[in-house]
Chain A
Amino acid sequence: MSKSHLELTNVQMAFDTKEGPFIALENIDLKIRKGEFVSLIGHSGCGKSTVLNIVAGLLQATRGGCVLDGHEVNTPGPERAVVFQNHSLMPWLTVYENVELAVQQVFRKSMSKAERKEWILHNLKLVNMDHALDKRPGEISGGMAQRVGIARALAMKPSVLLMDEPFGALDALTRAHLQDSLMKIQQDLNSTVIMITHDVDEAVLLSDRIVMMTNGPAATIGEELYIELPRPRNRVTLADHPEYVRYRQAVLSFLYEKQRFPGKGEDEQEEPTAEAEAPAQGDNLPDVGNESEESPVRRIA
C-alpha cells in the first residue's frame, strides 16, 4: 500500500450556536490513497457535508486537521474541486461560461485560448451537456445543471474530487449514465474521489471503500467497508454477484439496524435531548457558508 495521499487526523468540528457550541464531528480519522474512490454514507444531518467542507478547506476543523500530500489544508483551492450539493452555478452565466470561469482561472497560463475552448467543450460532452452551451442555469432542469456542475469540477483537473450528492437530483437513467462515465473518468485520470451519497447501490458500485458515519451530534466514523469487486465494474452483471449483495447488506444493516434515524425509533446510545437537537440543527443547513468565516477562529475549551 502506498503512503496516504489525503489524511484526516482526529478531526473535531464544533459550530457556534446560540445555545453554545454544537459538536458536529468528533474524532474523525481517515486515510485515503491516491486514486481511491471513497463514499461517505450516513443519515441526513450527521455531518457528511461538514467532512467534505473541511477537506475542501471551506471549513476549518476546531481540532485536528487535514493533510494533502504532506501539506496542511487550510484554504480552498481548485486542486480540490467541489461538486456542491445544489449545483451552485452562476445564474447569470451560460452553461459554457460557467465552465469557462473555472477553466480560465485554473489554466490561464498553461493553455492557449483554443485549447481552453476545446477543453471546456470536452468536459461538457462528457456529461452530455454540449447541446445547451448557451442556456442559463434557470433554463435547464436541475439534473442538467448538476451535470454542468460536475463538468465544471472535472474541468479543473483536480487531484481530489469532492462530490456532495452529485447525482441526487437526477433521474435513474441519467444517473446510471453519469455513474458509468464517472467510473471511467476516475480510472483514466486516477483521481482521488470523495463522494457523499444516500444511495447504497451507488456507493457499492462506485467505491473502493465505503465510510459509514454514525448519527450526530459528535458524529464519527462507524464502520469502513472495503469493496473488493474487480474493475471495470458492470452494473448489470454485478447485480447478482454474491459479493455485491453481501456488501449491500452490510451497508444497509449499518444504516437501518445499527444507526437508526434519530427521532424515528428509540436509540439506546443517545440522550433524548441530543435526539431532539439534531433535527432542529438541521434547519440551519443553509447557513453553512455564512458561518464558515467565523468558525475557524473559535475553539471550544
Chain B
Amino acid sequence: MTTLSHTDSLSQGQRWLRALTDKLSGVNLAETGRQLLLPAIGIILFLGFWHIAAPQVQTSLGAFPGPAQVLEQTGRLWQEHDNQRDRAAQFVTMQEERNERILAENPDAEVKIRDYPGAPTFIDQIFTSLGTVLAGFVLATIIAVPLGIIIGLNRHFSAAVNPLIQIFKPVSPLAWLPLVTMVVSATYVSDDPMFEKSFLTSMITVTLCSLWPTLINTSVGVSAVNPDLLNVSKVLRLSFWTHVRKVVLPSSVPMIFTGLRVSLGIAWMVLIAAEMLAQSPGLGKFVWDEFQNGGSESLSRIMVAVLAIGFIGFLLDRIMLLIQKKVAWNE
C-alpha cells in the first residue's frame, strides 16, 4: 500500500521526467527499428531481384542459380561435411581397434596411425583458408609494423624506401604468384616438410600483397606524433626504446590498426586468388574445382562459396574492430 500511495503522490516534476524518458525510449525503439529495418529491406530487395534475374542468365552449365538453389546447396555441403566427419570418426575407431588387436597379439609390432584419406569438404576448406590467411597476415604484420616504425622515425630512411613502397604497393597477387612459386620450390627443399609448398606459396603471396597498408599507416602514424609530446619525451630524456614504447607506439596505435584492418581485407581477397592459381587447398581451390567439374550444381556451389567468402571477410573485419576497440586509446 505504501508503495502505491507513493506512486500516486508523484510530483509534477517526476511525472514530467518520466514522460520524457518514455518518449526518449520510444524514440530509441524507433531508432533501433530503423537500424534493423533498412538493412532488412535492402537484403530482401536484393534477394527478390536475384530470384527474378538469375533464371534469365543462361550459361553452358544451365541457368544462373537463384537464392533457393544456393540455399539448397548450402544444406547439401553441410550434409557432406557431416557425413565425412562420421566416416572419419569410424575410420579412426576402426584403426584403433585394429592396432589394439595387433598389439595384443604381438606387443612389439609397429602400428601405423594414418590420417583419414577422404577429400576435404567445403567446411574443411574454409578452415584451411582461414589458417593460411592468418599465417600470411601475421607474417605481414611482423614485417610491416617494425619496418613502418623505422621508416616513420627516420626521415632519411623514409626517403630512401618510399619509391620502393610506391612501386611494389600496387602489384597484383597474380604477378607475384609465379615468382613466389618458383622461389619456394627452389629454396624450400626438405624430405619431411613441415608445411606444404602450396601453403607456403599462397601464404607468402598474401604477405607480399597485404604488407603495404600496415607499413604505410604505421610509418605515417609514427611520423605524425604530436610534436608537443615529442618535446615531453625530450625533456624527460627518455631512452630510444622507452621513447618508442611509451610515446611513439601508443600514439600511432590507432593509425596502425586502421592499416591492419585494410591489410586483413586485402589478405583475404588475395588469398582466394592465390589458392585458385596455386592449387593450394582452401576456398579458392574449392571454387576452381567446382568450375572444372562443370556439374549442374557447380554454379550454385560456387555461389555458396562466394557468399561464404564475403561473410567471412566481414567477420574478420569485425573481429579486428573489436581488437582495435580493446587496444586503442582513442576508441
Contact = CB atoms under 8 A, between A and B. Distances in A.
A142 interface: no
A81 B235 CA distance: 7
Given A105-B242, A289-B230, A90 B250 contact: yes
* Most chain A C-beta atoms within 10 Å of own C-beta, residue among B235, B246, B250: B235
B251 A92 contact: yes
Contacts of B236: 78, 101-102, 105-106, 156
Contacts of A86: 228
Contact of B246 (A57, A101, A292): A101
A90 B237 contact: no
B329 A84 contact: no
Interface string B245-277: 011001101000000000000000000000000
Contacts of A284: none
B230 A90 contact: no
Given A82-B235, A105-B238, A106-B236, A289 B227 contact: yes
A290 B231 CA distance: 10
B323 interface: no
A91 interface: yes
B250 A92 contact: yes
B190 interface: no
B22 to A, nearest CB: 30
A105 B329 contact: no
Interface in A285-301: 286-290, 292
B142 interface: no
A164 to B, nearest CB: 10
B235 A136 contact: no
Q: How large is the interface on A (under 10, 10 to 19, 20 to 34, 35 or more residues)?
A: 20 to 34
A76 B247 contact: no
A76 B231 contact: yes
A90 B243 CA distance: 12
Contacts of B3: none
Main SS at interface, chain B: helix
A58 interface: yes
A286 B230 CA distance: 13
Interface of A: 56-58, 75-78, 80-82, 84, 86, 88, 90-93, 101-102, 105-106, 136, 138, 156, 286-290, 292
Given A90-B250, A92-B329, A105-B242, A289 B231 contact: yes
Contact of A91 (B234, B246, B330): B330
Interface in B184-242: 226-232, 234-238, 242
Contacts of A91: 329-330
A225 B247 CA distance: 41
Q: Which 9 A-B pairs have the closest CB atoms?
A: A289-B227, A92-B329, A88-B228, A76-B234, A92-B250, A76-B235, A105-B236, A88-B232, A82-B235
Contacts of A288: 227
Contacts of B227: 286-290, 292
A157 B113 CA distance: 70
Contacts of A102: 236
7 contacts: A57-B234, A76-B237, A78-B237, A80-B235, A88-B226, A90-B250, A105-B236
* Most chain B C-beta atoms within 10 Å of own C-beta, residue among A58, A92, A286: A92
Contacts of A78: 235-237
Given A101-B246, A105-B242, A136-B329, A90 B235 contact: no
A286 B231 CA distance: 12
Contacts of B250: 90, 92-93
Nearest to B236: A105
A28 to B, nearest CB: 21
A77 B228 contact: no
B234 A58 contact: yes
Given A56-B231, A105-B242, A106-B236, 8 more contacts: A58-B234, A82-B231, A84-B231, A88-B229, A92-B253, A101-B246, A102-B236, A289-B227
B234 A84 contact: no
Contacts of A75: 234, 237
A81 to B, nearest CB: 7
A57 B233 CA distance: 13
A290 to B, nearest CB: 5
Contacts of A156: 236
A134 to B, nearest CB: 13
Contacts of A81: 235
B246 to A, nearest CB: 6
Contacts of A57: 234
A57 B234 CA distance: 9
Nearest to B238: A105
Contacts of A90: 229, 232, 246-247, 250-251
B158 to A, nearest CB: 14
A138 B107 CA distance: 71
A232 to B, nearest CB: 30
Contacts of B235: 56, 58, 76-78, 80-82
B236 to A, nearest CB: 5
B206 to A, nearest CB: 31
A84 B253 CA distance: 24
A148 to B, nearest CB: 12
Contacts of A56: 231, 235
Nearest to A106: B236
B108 to A, nearest CB: 62
B114 to A, nearest CB: 53
